[in-house]
Amino acid sequence: MRLDLTVLAITATVASLVGPTGIVAAASAQSCPDVEVLFARGTHEPPGVGPTGQAFVDALRGRIGDQTLAVYPVNYPAIDLWATGADGVRDAGARVLTLANACPDTDMVLGGYSQGAAVMGFVTSENVPDGVDPTTVPKPLDPDIAEHVAAVALFGLPNVRAMNFLGEPPVVIGPQYAGKTIQLCAPEDPVCSDGLNFAMHTPATYNGPMTEQAAEYVAARLVEAD
């Protein structure tokens, strides 16, 4: 009986990938991206990066040439109960650590809109905010982790007035990140400015010129990081 050579080749290939447990092993580890954007969406936006995050990612993708770009949507509730923002800080921080260890040459970009901007701001913080029980929140990142973060882009970051109103501590950007952070606030947006026009605090206000501005800034930082 003549055996089909194609069948033999396929059988041999499968046999080489199947381990002792019978599970097919990956041929190679997943390649690391050149750039990864970790973005936290705003309050009540559906899971994902949200409209502002998507506009920012799209704008950045068009500015980094042939570099590979991955996107990580921070996993947290993004609801009115701002105390759950700690879930976002925890998830984003864990992703930063995982990526720094598994893909040390990947340039990370941290970003967020509104509540998500506060989440990412806290990720960069050097210390646990005053008055907060350190056992209830994630431990601040080690200073050397900042070397893996090329830039931070925050849209509509709640200011001290807004955080006081919510009964939450103010966001303080860590010194290792301050020099590579861009903060964008729409004129008269009461969440991040002294204005009182609540209609300005919407993704429609931020998507466009401001996401383009942030992408331009981040792209320049990525060039410096290389």
Least confident of 62-71, 125-134, 147-156, 199-208: 125-134
For residue 29 the two structure tokens come to 């580890």
Asked if residue 224 lies in contact with residue 64, where contact means CB atoms within 8 angstroms, the answer is: no
pLDDT at position 135 is: 86
Q: What's the average model confidence in pLDDT over 144-169?
A: 96
pLDDT at position 24 is: 34
**Which residue in the list 91, 114, 125, 193 is annotated as catalytic?**
114
Q: What's the average model confidence in pLDDT over 95-107?
A: 97
**Which residue in the list 34, 91, 107, 189 is annotated as catalytic?**
189
Structural domains for the chain: 33-225 (3.40.50.1820)
pLDDT at position 133 is: 83
pLDDT at position 14 is: 35
Residue 69 belongs to what H/E stretch?
strand 69-73
Asked if residue 40 lies in contact with residue 120, where contact means CB atoms within 8 angstroms, the answer is: yes
To the nearest 10 degrees (0 to 180), the angle between helices 115-124 and 85-102 is 50
Q: What's the average model confidence in pLDDT over 94-106?
A: 97
**Which residue in the list 91, 107, 148, 201 is annotated as catalytic?**
201
The CA distance from 127 to 134, in Å, is: 9
pLDDT at position 176 is: 97
Q: Which residues contact 209 (CB under 8 A, 6 or more apart)?
A: none
pLDDT at position 154 is: 98
pLDDT at position 30 is: 61
Tell me phi and psi for residue 116, to 5 degrees. -65, -30
| Residue percentage of the chain with pLDDT more than 90 | 76
Higher pLDDT, 22 or 46: 46
Q: What's the average model confidence in pLDDT over 92-105?
A: 97
Residues facing 213 on adjacent strands:
none
Higher pLDDT, 103 or 84: 103
Burial of 5 (0-12, 13-18, 19+ CB in 10 A): exposed
Mean pLDDT of the chain: 87
Residue 148 among the catalytic residues: no
Q: With 80 as the cut, is the pLDDT of residue 6 above it?
A: no
Identify the top-confidence range among 6-15, 30-39, 80-89, 133-142.
30-39
User: At 26, is the pLDDT very low, low, confident or very high (cuts 50, 70, 90)?
Assistant: very low
Q: Which residues contact 3 (CB under 8 A, 6 or more apart)?
A: none
Burial of 226 (0-12, 13-18, 19+ CB in 10 A): exposed
Residue 87 among the catalytic residues: no
Q: With 80 as the cut, is the pLDDT of residue 1 above it?
A: no
User: At 179, is the pLDDT very low, low, confident or very high (cuts 50, 70, 90)?
Assistant: very high
Residue 114 among the catalytic residues: yes
Q: With 60 as the cut, is the pLDDT of residue 11 above it?
A: no
Q: How much is the pTM? A: 0.85
Q: With 60 as the cut, is the pLDDT of residue 215 above it?
A: yes
Q: What's the average model confidence in pLDDT over 48-60?
A: 98
